A and B are shown apart, each in its own frame.
Chain A
């Protein structure tokens, strides 16, 4: 086994060969699935924990305080302590709620991002699902989450939950449009929905730089719309703790509450990953055309670091929004989408088609 931080293809293949050599073909496949599943579960847990910790620290620094400091060095074990608390808490189910849907909702909410994360290209060769409609798959799967939210609101037997869920449903369905249209703007240039092709197409520069003005507009719309789609501030209408106490997850406690909580952070990661892949080249280092010397220096930094660096930057941007802006009202939110973002998006798409046809992009 030769491990190469710049290209995981050989490493992954050698594991596959080794599995095939020690196990019969069917068992080797199953063993492969299990290994991948375990890897993702571990990754998601670590991701969730670290994102919660990062969010707390970022928010604390914006608010001129320290954040968690007591449990572990600089409070690093705080989120682990919180998860332990949540796991051991009694899962309360309120009277008159629809128990089956109530339990199901939490699982749907968490399953959606679990499935979507499989299609994310982490580095060269480190990519589980790479088929020709990868981007479509991610957007489609991650929108299943909204059914979970609607179910949660409906089955809780709580008016606050119901209002929160209805708001959230309207919001997610509307903003899905903008997210997809802004991604389509770049797809016009790449000509493929396959994520590995999209990344590869940015070998001589990222689309945000190459794609002329429409790409920049598309990125801004993407950031706004995807923040709204993930129900985060300033678009956290569904939770809106000062209006609806906690919105659709008011009645949830213990581990099921943790599911909602974790799902929000994994969604955040997926959004950042899609944004980074489509606009900032995914794991592709920063390249400038044929400027060999510069490109070689950039290539020296491993792709996985590039990928997580870009994601960190986008996540920080989204967190920055959340801790700075007040919350919009639901009708203002829908006005923003249907009257402003959507028309801008459509015109932008047309503009991008024009750019692509005339060859004004690099």
Chain B
């Protein structure tokens, strides 16, 4: 065949057709009822359109009917893996509005439990991430270690997942006498187990091949889409609320803000693994220094926030959670808005996944660590 013939052959070849695939709302790797409308050319992704609304429970609207104490438990149901931080965000917002002085003990307890929640969330994420890439064993390993944290939670407040431990003014009960010992035991145990995570997944050739240079998100895109949390920090966006706007006891502990500049799936993975080490460091600094005192400041039975607007942000396991309350001096708020990290992180998915393959989309989604009820309040 001459060169000219070859060229005409290529030109007259039948055109390939783009097609659509509905990934979800029931699909194993969307981790819930997220529906992605994929436009594909063969296996290459041309476009990703997330469709939301399958698990919308109108939490924000429900908040307008409830008292401030009741709002707290609704936030458990948003990002259930960082329930304590969600509770904390609402409580801090209300406390700021009331100009309430919070006992030191409460601040420290809240910080420790927040970090334990972050650890348990990242453990689950690690397991699920491995499972999404086909290494099913990691899932069970993640769960094995997470179990110990949920046991501590159960002893502390009776619940394992949606703890509802915070109340405006403090925490619901004082910590259990065993709390310090068990937490310390867990940290010693997990310091030994975390390198095992690296052995199983991080150093694996297949794993690095699957995640390096996949799902790239530039720093500019991360900022303009508002991608926060470990996902944003892996793109070089220094957005750790614990460092930038310290709350509770974060101003008195030393920890590193994990920042990677690669912006690919592997960087996001490493950011979370490193964050687990930092969380353990924070807990170790605080666990022996819980100040004596009340576990709860005195509040009125019916809380009425003075008229005005209040905003509080916290760092959940997924990123920055913002709580915006507008009050008209009644027993329930006039309007509540949650700025959930998952929603903003998901919005960047199209930019990250374009041009990659379906298998890469799965890897990208799992490094974004999506929790669907958080996206779809």
Interface residues of A (CB under 8 A from B): 59, 62-65, 159-160, 163, 233-234, 236, 240-245, 323-332
B43 at the A interface (CB under 8 A): yes
Measured between beta carbons, the chain A residues less than 8 angstroms from B29 are 242-243
Whether the Cβ atoms of A233 and B141 lie closer than 8 Å is: no
Whether the Cβ atoms of A62 and B137 lie closer than 8 Å is: yes
Contact of A323 among B28, B43, B137 (CB under 8 A): B137
Provide a sorted-by-A list of 21 A–B residue pairs whose CB atoms are within 8 angstroms.
A63-B137, A64-B141, A160-B21, A163-B43, A163-B358, A242-B29, A242-B134, A242-B362, A243-B29, A243-B362, A245-B27, A324-B137, A324-B200, A326-B134, A326-B135, A326-B210, A327-B134, A327-B206, A329-B359, A330-B43, A330-B359
Contact of B359 among A233, A240, A245, A324 (CB under 8 A): A240
Measured between beta carbons, the chain A residues less than 8 angstroms from B357 are 329-331
- Chain B, residues 170-187, CB within 8 Å of chain A (1/0): the string is 000000000000000000
Least CB distance, B205 to chain A, in whole angstroms: 9
| A331 and B210 alpha carbons, distance in the complex (Å) | 11
Given A64-B144, A163-B358; A326-B27 close (CB under 8 Å): no
Whether the Cβ atoms of B140 and A64 lie closer than 8 Å is: yes
B207 at the A interface (CB under 8 A): yes
Which segment, of B1-9, B125-133, B289-297, B337-345, faces chain A? B125-133
Measured between beta carbons, the chain B residues less than 8 angstroms from A331 are 357
Contact of A242 among B21, B43, B132 (CB under 8 A): B132
B360 at the A interface (CB under 8 A): yes
Q: Please name the residue on chain B nearest to A246 by beta carbon.
A: B28
Contact of B135 among A163, A245, A327 (CB under 8 A): A327
Measured between beta carbons, the chain A residues less than 8 angstroms from B28 are 241-242, 245
Whether the Cβ atoms of B19 and A159 lie closer than 8 Å is: yes
Least CB distance, A61 to chain B, in whole angstroms: 11
B288 at the A interface (CB under 8 A): no
Q: Please name the residue on chain A nearest to B29 by beta carbon.
A: A242
Q: Please report which residues of chain B, range 178-212, place their CB below 8 angstroms from some CB of chain A when the two chains form the complex.
A: 200-201, 204, 206-207, 209-210
B136 at the A interface (CB under 8 A): yes
Least CB distance, B21 to chain A, in whole angstroms: 5
| A184 and B357 alpha carbons, distance in the complex (Å) | 35
**4 extra interface residue pairs, beta carbon distance < 8 Å, beyond A234-B135, A329-B357:** A59-B136, A242-B131, A326-B135, A332-B209
Whether the Cβ atoms of B207 and A326 lie closer than 8 Å is: yes
6 A-B pairs with the lowest CB-CB distances in the bound complex, closest first: A327-B134, A63-B140, A326-B133, A242-B29, A326-B135, A329-B359
Given A63-B140, A241-B28; A236-B134 close (CB under 8 Å): yes
Measured between beta carbons, the chain A residues less than 8 angstroms from B200 are 324
Least CB distance, A320 to chain B, in whole angstroms: 10
Whether the Cβ atoms of B137 and A329 lie closer than 8 Å is: no
Whether the Cβ atoms of A323 and B136 lie closer than 8 Å is: yes
Q: Please name the residue on chain B nearest to A335 by beta carbon.
A: B209
Q: Please name the residue on chain B nearest to A233 by beta carbon.
A: B134
Contact of A63 among B133, B141, B201, B360 (CB under 8 A): B141
Whether the Cβ atoms of B206 and A243 lie closer than 8 Å is: no
| A325 and B139 alpha carbons, distance in the complex (Å) | 13
Measured between beta carbons, the chain B residues less than 8 angstroms from A242 are 28-29, 131-134, 362
Measured between beta carbons, the chain A residues less than 8 angstroms from B135 are 234, 324-327
Least CB distance, B364 to chain A, in whole angstroms: 12
Least CB distance, B306 to chain A, in whole angstroms: 50
Q: Which of B21, B28, B131 is most buried by chain A, counting CB atoms within 10 A of its CB?
A: B28
| A272 and B44 alpha carbons, distance in the complex (Å) | 35
Q: Please name the residue on chain A nearest to B131 by beta carbon.
A: A242
Measured between beta carbons, the chain A residues less than 8 angstroms from B140 are 63-65
Contact of A328 among B132, B141, B210, B362 (CB under 8 A): B210
| A325 and B208 alpha carbons, distance in the complex (Å) | 12
| A252 and B140 alpha carbons, distance in the complex (Å) | 28
Least CB distance, A154 to chain B, in whole angstroms: 15
Q: Please report which residues of chain B, range 109-140, place their CB below 8 angstroms from some CB of chain A when the two chains form the complex.
A: 130-137, 139-140
| A244 and B29 alpha carbons, distance in the complex (Å) | 9
Measured between beta carbons, the chain B residues less than 8 angstroms from A160 are 21
Q: Please name the residue on chain A nearest to B201 by beta carbon.
A: A326
| A64 and B139 alpha carbons, distance in the complex (Å) | 11
| A278 and B72 alpha carbons, distance in the complex (Å) | 67
Q: Which of B133, B209, B359 is most buried by chain A, counting CB atoms within 10 A of its CB?
A: B359
Measured between beta carbons, the chain B residues less than 8 angstroms from A323 are 136-137
Contact of B133 among A62, A65, A327 (CB under 8 A): A327
Measured between beta carbons, the chain B residues less than 8 angstroms from A233 are 134
Given A325-B204, A326-B207, A330-B43; A240-B134 close (CB under 8 Å): yes
| A63 and B360 alpha carbons, distance in the complex (Å) | 25
- Chain B, residues 192-235, CB within 8 Å of chain A (1/0): the string is 00000000110010110110000000000000000000000000
| A298 and B125 alpha carbons, distance in the complex (Å) | 50
Least CB distance, A345 to chain B, in whole angstroms: 20
Q: Please report which residues of chain B, range 75-89, place their CB below 8 angstroms from some CB of chain A when the two chains form the complex.
A: none
| A244 and B209 alpha carbons, distance in the complex (Å) | 20
Least CB distance, A73 to chain B, in whole angstroms: 24
Measured between beta carbons, the chain B residues less than 8 angstroms from A65 are 140
Measured between beta carbons, the chain B residues less than 8 angstroms from A327 are 133-135, 206, 210, 359
Measured between beta carbons, the chain B residues less than 8 angstroms from A59 are 136-137
Measured between beta carbons, the chain A residues less than 8 angstroms from B130 are 326
Q: Please name the residue on chain B nearest to A329 by beta carbon.
A: B359
| A59 and B131 alpha carbons, distance in the complex (Å) | 14
| A242 and B141 alpha carbons, distance in the complex (Å) | 18
Measured between beta carbons, the chain A residues less than 8 angstroms from B139 are 63
Least CB distance, B192 to chain A, in whole angstroms: 15
| A166 and B216 alpha carbons, distance in the complex (Å) | 27
Least CB distance, B16 to chain A, in whole angstroms: 13
Q: Which of B135, B144, B210, B360 is most buried by chain A, counting CB atoms within 10 A of its CB?
A: B135
| A160 and B133 alpha carbons, distance in the complex (Å) | 17
Given A163-B43, A243-B358; A326-B206 close (CB under 8 Å): yes
Least CB distance, A225 to chain B, in whole angstroms: 16
- Chain B, residues 254-265, CB within 8 Å of chain A (1/0): the string is 000000000000
| A62 and B206 alpha carbons, distance in the complex (Å) | 19
Measured between beta carbons, the chain A residues less than 8 angstroms from B360 are 329
